[in-house]
Amino acid sequence: MAKIGFIGLGIMGAPMAGHLIDGGHELYTAVRRSPVPDWLTEKGITLCGSAKEVAAEAEVIITMVPDTPQVEEALFGEGGIAEGLSPGKVFVDMSSISPIATKSFAERIAALDCDYVDAPVSGGEVGAKNAALTIMVGGSEEAFARVKPLFELMGKNITLVGPTGDGQTCKVANQIIVALNIEAVAEALVFAAKAGADPAKVRTALMGGFASSKILEVHAERMIARTFDPGFRIELHQKDLNLALASARSLGVSLPNTATAQELFNACVAHGGAGWDHSAMVRALEALADHDVAADG
Task: Report, as residue numbers or ranges, the catalytic residues.
Answer: 171
Angle 234-251/166-194 helices, nearest 10 degrees?
120
Q: Is 28 left (phi over 0), alpha (psi -120 to 50) or beta?
A: beta
274-286 burial: b if 16+ Cβ within 10 Å, else e: eebbbbbbbbbbb
**Helical residues (DSSP H) of the chain, grouped into ranges:** 13-22, 38-43, 51-57, 68-76, 81-84, 99-110, 124-129, 141-154, 166-194, 199-206, 214, 220-225, 234-251, 256-270, 282-289
**What is the Cα–Cα distance from 38 to 295, expressed in whole angstroms?**
41
CA atoms within 13 A on the CB side of 45: 30
Secondary structure element (H or E) that encloses residue 121, with its range: strand 121-122
CA dihedral of 9, 135, 229, 66, whole degrees rounded to 10: 50
SS3 of residue 240 by DSSP = helix
